[in-house]
Amino acid sequence: MGTPEFAVQSLKLLVDGGYNVVAVVTQPDKPVGRHGSTLQAPAVKQYALSKSIPVLQPERMKDEKFLAQLRAFNAHLQVVVAFRMLPKQVWNMPAFGTFNVHAALLPQYRGAAPINWAVINGETETGVTTFFLDENIDTGRIIDYKRLAIPDDANVEWVYDHLMRLGAELCIETVDRILQQDGKLETTQQPEDQPLKHAPKIFKETCQIDWNLPVKRIYDFIRGLSPYPGAWTEIAKNDEQENNKPQVLKIYSANKTQMPAKANPGTFVVEANRLYICTADNLLELQEIQMAGKKRMSSRDFLNGTREANSFHAISK
């Protein structure tokens, strides 16, 4: 059970390993295009159909027709990778239970966006955890985990790709353990005696940059949202003309510096054909950016096409 590319890698290893994958459950096809007139199949569905694996796409997980279809496959074990919350009627159905491959070291970063939040919070390590599902979100008994170091210059795409492969490896190892022990393997209760960091769903408003923060926090925020959905800010000229409407600027990559910011947070600074923005302490050097309605470009290309860069300032959230 899964939807995005992250889940495909685990499914692929199961298929390549000769495991009997009787069916795949994924989200309904998503409307795309300007008017939503075209339906796009989830990545998991596309792969499953290429391997002639039956696909179920319920609108509601408690729908009786779906439950009857799922029950008819008589699966001994269900595997969940990057999917929605399941009702007890679903996760409690197979004899060996249902386990999830979660892209974090539980109990930390429970929620919908664990990879993003680990990078945003400047973590130097993350990982993947397999655990049996229960009534709550990401709280079940832990089966196993693998760790991954996060380089200081890694963005969320890099971490996603590495966790996807690591998660698929752990998925296979977990399936083998469960089958070898007829579902009666030892598990570990998640500790609840430590402060927890959560990983809620990310919305557009979540991605707006607060320039009143230190440069390290902003640097981590940008790479934790790059390349998707992308950290953004509004910029405007320093004058107060009526037609001076703020413009959205997305920032995909940047460098933190040790150069002190000598102006208010959000102030643009151009030095030696490099573009910086003042934060609460030091300058942040912009590398790859995108103005609304424009293509992504290097900050150098932006400066070459904009003679008035020094006249802009970024607006904090």
Does residue 48 share a domain with residue 161?
A: yes
pLDDT for the residue 211: 97
Does residue 212 share a domain with residue 163?
A: no
Does residue 304 share a domain with residue 155?
A: no
For residue 188, being part of any structural domain is answered with no
Q: The domain containing residue 28 runs over which residues?
A: 5-180
- The pair phi, psi for residue 25, each rounded to 5°, is -115, 130
Output Rg (C-alpha) for the chain, integer angstroms. 23
- The per-residue pLDDT string of the chain (317 residues; one tens digit each, 9 = 90 and over) reads 988 899 999 999 999 999 999 999 999 999 887 777 789 999 999 999 999 999 999 999 999 999 999 999 999 999 999 999 999 999 999 999 999 999 999 999 999 999 999 999 999 999 999 999 999 999 999 999 999 999 999 999 999 999 999 999 999 999 999 999 998 999 999 998 889 999 999 999 999 999 999 999 999 999 999 999 999 999 998 866 556 789 999 999 999 999 999 999 999 999 999 999 999 999 999 999 999 999 999 999 999 887 777 778 898 87
For residue 199, being part of any structural domain is answered with no
Contact 111, 71 (CB under 8 A): no
CA distances from 93 to 32, 87, 184 (A): 34, 10, 16
Does residue 245 share a domain with residue 116?
A: no
For residue 196, being part of any structural domain is answered with no
CATH code of the domain covering residue 258: 3.10.25.10
The DSSP element (H or E) to which 8 belongs, if any, is: helix 5-16
Distance CA 24, CA 89 (A): 17
**Domains in the chain: how many in total?**
2
Does residue 220 share a domain with residue 102?
A: no
Distance CA 93, CA 46 (A): 25
pLDDT for the residue 35: 72
Per DSSP (E only), the strands in the chain are: 24-25, 30-32, 38-40, 55-56, 78-81, 98-102, 125-132, 142-149, 231-237, 247-260, 268-271, 274-278, 282-291, 297-298, 312-315
CA distances from 281 to 210, 225, 246, 252 (A): 13, 22, 24, 21
Q: What angle do CA 198, 206, 196 make, to 5 degrees?
A: 10
Does residue 304 share a domain with residue 257?
A: yes
For residue 269, being part of any structural domain is answered with yes
Does residue 148 share a domain with residue 10?
A: yes
For residue 272, being part of any structural domain is answered with yes
For residue 285, being part of any structural domain is answered with yes
Tell me which residue has tokens 């910086």: 276
Distance CA 310, CA 268 (A): 6
Does residue 282 share a domain with residue 171?
A: no
Contact 244, 237 (CB under 8 A): yes
What residues are paired with 2 via a beta bridge?
81
Distance CA 24, CA 70 (A): 10
Contact 257, 283 (CB under 8 A): yes
Does residue 136 share a domain with residue 16?
A: yes
CATH code of the domain covering residue 116: 3.40.50.12230
Contact 134, 176 (CB under 8 A): no
Does residue 223 share a domain with residue 125?
A: no
Peptide bond just before 107 cis, omega within 30 deg: yes
For residue 16, being part of any structural domain is answered with yes
Distance CA 43, CA 40 (A): 9
CA distances from 301 to 273, 286, 305, 306 (A): 10, 12, 6, 9
Does residue 257 share a domain with residue 173?
A: no
For residue 195, being part of any structural domain is answered with no
Looking at residue 281, its amino acid is D
Contact 30, 36 (CB under 8 A): no
What residues are paired with 240 via a beta bridge?
none
Tell me which residue has tokens 């910011």: 261
Does residue 173 share a domain with residue 30?
A: yes
